[in-house]
Structure 1
Amino acid sequence: MKRLLTCLLPILLTWTLWVGCDPRPQANDTPMPTPLPGKTYENGEAKMQFRPVVAGQFYPGGQEQLRQDVDSYLQNAVVPADLGDIFGIVAPHAGYVYSGPVAGHSYRAVQGKKYDFVVVLGLSHRVPGEVALLHYDSYLTPLGAVTIDRAATEQLAKAAPFIDRSDEMFRYEHSLEVQLPFIQRALPQTPVVLIAIGSARQDTLRQLAAALDKTFADRHVLYVASTDLSHFRTYDQAVKIDTQSLDFLARHDLEGLYKAPELRERMCGLGPVTVLFELFKRRGGKEARLLKYLNSGDTSGDKSRVVGYGSLALLAQGMKTMVKTEETKPAADAGGAEDYLSADDKKELLQLARRTIEAYVKNGKTVEFQPTSDALKKNGAAFVTLTKKADHQLRGCIGQIIATIPLWECVRDMAIAAATQDPRFSAVREREIQGLRIEISVLTPPVRIKDISEIQVGVHGLIMSKGWNRGLLLPQVPTEYGWDRNTFLDQTCRKAGMNAGCWRDPDTKIERFAAIVFSETE
């Protein structure tokens, strides 16, 4: 008998969006609460976690919707194949519905590359000040906790004593936070250093660039400058002004940019951009490539008063002290999930799952199905998860972890099992079906780990077994709950009916796997 296992899913939140980064209150703005620092615990040690400021406002507050949106922006972005190693990027920071497609180009250019950490240069729209560093252990988003590299943060603070250690400039700020979900999806598990820049003078910005250059000269770092372009011009005016500004940046001509008329009207993140390009110059950078330009008139359709957004990549070729990047490529022996399913394959499986549930719940029969794709005919293992559309509560989740039957057949059988055999719930009733949302996770073969350092939180799921006890958690679970690796291991132990820490027992078998996750859109 096939072993059936259950899984966990997050509760999603509703969300709204703001168009730009203008600090002036908009007619439909609501006051933003001051985020209070929270405490988490790792191996008994208290850790300080910065809570999100604009989740549910600038970007979706629900984990699943946010993941889908960011992944869509990344997948739809088309960037040149000859970019090579990348030193830095410029990315916008408005509401995702407006600037998300442009930000997707910036992060698609670095997706899968390996960096020691990411330095995010944002600005302070609302709180006065010059430069500040965020001295926390992590920053929470709906996708989980982003680790802040405390060692690198402290190292920079010592090298640049003019930097403020207070968190005041971060408490109402969106320009850094909106970058984090893109980092989580494009560069999973990469820690960050967060710098907020206010009304700093040019000499202070140069000092910051010099401190970054000296402090991180031997580290492989990605630098991100967060900025929008012109604000609240007509469409034609914005295109003209933004084209000029982007041309200055593409030629990394800061002197020309600073001499241009209406300088402060050209981009709100002039400080972060200045630091990035000063640092690029110090390292001997040669080429800045424009990847995408749009404005809110293109993305929203309203061309009367628009905000501009630009994506640039600063290429590392020929730079000093730049370490060669490595691509993070999924492979079966590394437990990675290569997405071999086409969009049509995924659509076909979701439709099969829904038709199967409808037929089985109504009359106890299974549906006839003839797959059109070879990918669906190959043996596969999958989980089917059902959640309520109304409140996003889990309604059933069951799956198979070993590929013994064709993938389409596995999805059909697990759809029935999730709807009628999950021991935590009564069987789904006919009147409930239309109110359910279906998610499918297609699993890679499990690989036994030799060392827990092999586990990538957010990439791997875990199977913990010893004797008759066995438990599984899907890859998306730890990011949904903000767990680190040890907590993920402990929770998988508990799922297997064992005590936390069972993974330290040499008799406990630990396996990792990855998953291709897709779902119905509401």
Structure 2
Amino acid sequence: MSLVAAYAVPHPPLIVPAVGQGQEEAIADTIAAFREVARRAAAHRPDVIVVTSPHAPLYRDGFFIADTPEEHGSLGAFGQPQERLSIRNDLSFAEAIAERLRRRAIPTAGAPQGAGDLDHATFVPLHFLAQTMDLAQVAVVRIGLSGLSDADHRFLGQAIAQVAEEANARCVLIASGDMSHKLKADGPYGFAAEGPQFDKAVADIFRSGRLQELFALDGALCEGAAECGLRSFEIMAGALEGAPYTAELLSYEGPFGVGYAVAAFEVENAPGDTEAEAAAEIREREERGRDIDPLVALARASVESIVRDGRVLPVPANLPDELAHRRAGAFVSLHERGNLRGCIGTIAPTRASLAEEIIMNGVAAATEDPRFPAVRPDELDLLSYSVDVLGEPEPVESLEQLDPKRYGVIVSHGFKRGLLLPDLEGVDTVMDQIAIAKQKAGLRPNEHAKLERFEVVRHTAGGEPRHE
């Protein structure tokens, strides 16, 4: 394992709605790009997240590396103390980085007394990551910048990548940093011509992926632009040096006088990378007379990725329009030797596409169904798959409008809601169907409930087990 991806992100506190109180709407592109970074980062199933921060403790002749088992922080300095985060630091990973720096005679240190809280340049990226992953389960390493040379920041990045490889850890690097602070006369530092020039130069570098050009930027241009993220980006460039990666500038905005760029650098052929395999299995239906349903193939690929590699399958490229552009609720069902082995789904769409819906529900069916233990690798060839795509629910005025073979049913009362799919073995009457749905909702048998029905398209082609 090794560095699997790196992301350059800004850190404006107002991007958190509790702080922005509506102002964040002016940087909608940045928010959307941040969410995409969070989605991609979660899909990599990282063992460790390294955050380089311009607002962590800054030392003239060395680097800050967090050295406490846990760290906590809030946005109290921005009027919202209830916005809080806690992280668990990977001290062995951090010490391995520090040891490499010491061999180059570069000192490291933890936070000075009273300065150990998470800084906002770390907090903001982690705020978004926390929406797609459980930070309690992922270790973090927080690193500051320094007054040392560009070459030393590059070396630090190289050390991060080398430690990730030696530790056999899937590592995601978050390079936190704003661009110029001198884009507008009414901005925090006024306007300087160097501001937009610097931002254009760095945005072009991010877009092209030629990160080594960061080290050739003119010093006077950087100083005049009042940037804060360059050395963070230089660490990232060092970490990616020598690795094949794709580069994508996801967004750039500067409405408040400060430049915000979000860029993604995905390491190609990262260990456990199964997107190509999934896409190949889906395309295989063309070569086998269309007898493999692409929805079923995607569900199988999702389950096998999480069970074999311990990672969420990224959405493969070149999917059919039904998967890539449609949104719908969906259930993924697993059976083993005719017995249910897991079934999890969503009543309405919760993801950007049906493909993402199936991927995440496949993960949940294999690992989170409370009725069963998580699927083991040795069971994969024994599993059969089906995917149910739900139509729009419609209200039911009388029991005559229900048919347990044709329609699924949703019962709801207040915040309680239960769903039962149609055409299930042993569910032969409307009353059976409603009773089971009420039980799933936590409602008493005689408790009043609103009824809705929905139709389902069930996909099974190609979902048979590889071995009986």
TM-score normalized with structure 2 length: 0.50
Q: Give the helix-richer structure, 1 or 2.
A: 2
Greater C-alpha radius of gyration? 2
